[in-house]
Amino acid sequence: MKNFKITFFFLQLPIAISLLGHGLVRLPKLTAFAEGMVSSMESSVLPSGLVLAFGYILPVVEAVLGAALLIGFQTRYILYGALALMGVLVLGSSTIENWGAVQAQLVHGIYLGFLLWFYEQYRNENK
C-alpha cells in the first residue's frame, strides 16, 4: 500500500479520539465517575472495591491508550492493550446484563481488531 501511514492514521483517528475522549471527559470528575461505576455495578458479582479501583484507573487507561494511538506510539501493543480493555469492559457490562454497553464495546473491539489486522498486513510492506 503506497500511503500506509496516512491511510492508517485516518483509520485509527476515530477510535483514538473515542478512547481519548472517554478518558479526558471523566478525569475532571474522577471520584464521581468511580463512585457512579460502583453504584451502577451493584447487581454485579464483582466486588465493589475492585469496581471502585477500576473506576479510578479506567479513565487514565482510556486517555493514555487514545493518546498513544493518536500519535502512533507502540501501535501494535497499544492495540493489544485496547482490545484487552474492551474484553474487561465486556465482562463487566455482561455481569449487570447491560447489553447496550456490551454492543458498543464489541463494536470498539471489532474496529480495534480490524486496525490490528490492517497494521500487521501492511506495515511490513512499507518499511
pLDDT tens readout for residues 67-100: 999 999 999 999 999 999 999 999 999 999 999 9
Domain that holds residue 72: 4-126
Residues 4-30: what's their mean pLDDT?
Answer: 96
* Structure confidence by residue, pLDDT tens digits, 57-68: 999 999 999 999
Check the CA dihedral 48-53-56-59 and report its sign: negative
CA distance 4 to 35: 42
Of residues 2, 4, 11, 3, the one with CA closest to residue 123: 4
CB 66 within 8 A of CB 21: yes
Check the CA dihedral 111-112-113-117 and report its sign: positive
Number of structural domains found in the chain = 1
Question: Hunting for cell 464489541 — which residue is that?
Answer: 106
Is residue 125 pLDDT above 80, yes or no? no
Give the global pTM: 0.92
